[in-house]
Amino acid sequence: MINMQPILEGVVTGAVRMWLRAEGLAALVLSLLLYGHSGMSWWIFFLLLLTPDVSMLPYLVNPKLGAISYNVAHSYLLPLGLVAGCVLTRNFMWLPYLYIWTAHLGLDRSLGYGLKYPAGFGKTHLGIRQSRA
């Protein structure tokens, strides 16, 4: 029998995993509501929704660099920090784009796509994702 403990260390399971996925869904819904309130066109929303996934390109170099790039673009820290900056400076023109970014993150989390470990693209804090070939 294979010892899975080193692979599963740091991976959230059970009810906690479901709560984190529910939080992702809540972030997605809130982002959609805020974007709708912004008055921006929905075609722009759908055109840009997958833009944060460009951060996967460094995986072509190596998994460690890929995980760092992916996690920076897929953490709520950067877009929410930029939202705070927009509010503090009263420069609201970037908010709809930040709502798209947080909607993407919420969608990913609700579907079980988590932050990546350097061990490989499928190793995330929300579990191990098997590739479907």
Q: Where are the domains of the chain?
A: 13-121
CB 86 within 8 A of CB 98: yes
Handedness of CA 114, 41, 33, 79 (dihedral sign): positive
Report pLDDT for 131: 53
pLDDT digits (tens, 9 = 90+) for 70-117: 999 999 999 999 999 999 999 999 999 999 999 999 999 999 998 999
Residue 130 has a pLDDT of 57
Q: pLDDT tens digits, residue range 31-79?
A: 999 999 999 999 999 999 999 999 999 999 999 999 999 999 999 999 9
Residue that wins the pLDDT comparison between 128 and 25: 25
Q: How far is CA 125 from CA 67, 92, 95, 98, 119, in A?
A: 12, 33, 28, 23, 12
The residues near 45 (Cβ < 8 Å, ≥ 6 apart) are 35, 96, 100, 103
